[in-house]
Amino acid sequence: MAGSSTDGRVLRGEETRRAVLHRAVSVASVEGLGALSIGRLATDLGLSKSGVFAAFGSKEELQLAAVRAARRMFFDAVVAPVLEMPPGLGQVRALCDSWLEYSRARVFPGGCFFYQVTAEFDAQPGPVRDRLAEAAREWGQTVTGVLRDARAVGGLRPGTDLDDLAFALVGYLETANSQALLFDDETPYDRAGRALLRLLRAEAADPAQLTD
């Protein structure tokens, strides 16, 4: 009986944590991580404040947990769908399209979670900024990695600067996200798709491989 009681409490604790994190990433994507508080989330979800506190312990841990949860959601939505594709320009383009669809589909209500909260914390040293910097580096390395693979199989010109190209691709993606939200208009996604295609064609060993 004691074991069943303990298991039940653990299960309820896990369910509470999942519910709080789901709400936390949704709120943060719109209002920022600074808007998160144990009291606010407890009220939103109809939970006791003590129960939410027991799951996280502090506002900073809640923020860090939200970043971790958002990283998993981002990976599942953007990166995982293209991992099994063969290396080449097709994979690069699919990764960019996957990111655009992630923002367009509002996986997070506020568009790209990381675009929103990085602007909030980029000048605030501390554990939250450190975790956001890790996430940004990981994403940048993912983009550079698929570009490196594409160059290795002859898709990109040998002299292509992969870091510069990755920087430009990410810039187009983030601008599309920002403008689509600001203007409540999906046109920036289409414009970004065309701009990304032109950029990849400019660096492609055979631009004809990239069709509209």
Domain boundaries, the chain: 61-209
- Signed CA dihedral, 159, 160, 163, 168: sign only: positive
* 164 close to 182: Cβ distance less than 8 angstroms: no
Closest CA to 23 of 84, 86, 75, 66: 66
Residue 209: pLDDT band with limits 50, 70, 90: confident
Q: What percent of the chain has pLDDT over 90?
A: 84
Q: What is the dihedral of CA 178, 182, 187, 191, to 10 degrees?
A: -30
Q: What are the pLDDT digits (tens) for 140-173? A: 999 999 999 999 999 999 999 999 999 999 999 9
Q: Which CATH superfamily is domain 61-209 in?
A: Tetracycline Repressor, domain 2 (1.10.357.10)
Q: What are the pLDDT digits (tens) for 82-100? A: 999 999 999 999 999 999 9
Query: What does the pLDDT average to over 9-28?
Result: 85
pLDDT at 77 over 70: yes
Query: What does the pLDDT average to over 58-79?
Result: 97
Q: What are the pLDDT digits (tens) for 100-116? A: 999 999 999 999 999 99
Radius of gyration of the CA atoms of the chain, in A: 20
pLDDT at 15: 84
- Give how far the C-alpha of residue 129 lies from the chain's centroid of Cα atoms, to the nearest Å: 15
Could you tell me which residue, 5 or 138, shows the higher pLDDT? 138
- pTM of the entire structure? 0.91
Tokens 């890790």 belong to residue: 134
What average pLDDT is seen over the chain? 93
pLDDT at 8 over 70: no
pLDDT at 1 over 80: no
pLDDT at 37: 93
d(C-alpha 4, C-alpha 144), whole Å: 49
Residue 78: pLDDT band with limits 50, 70, 90: very high
d(C-alpha 11, C-alpha 115), whole Å: 33
Residue 130: pLDDT band with limits 50, 70, 90: very high
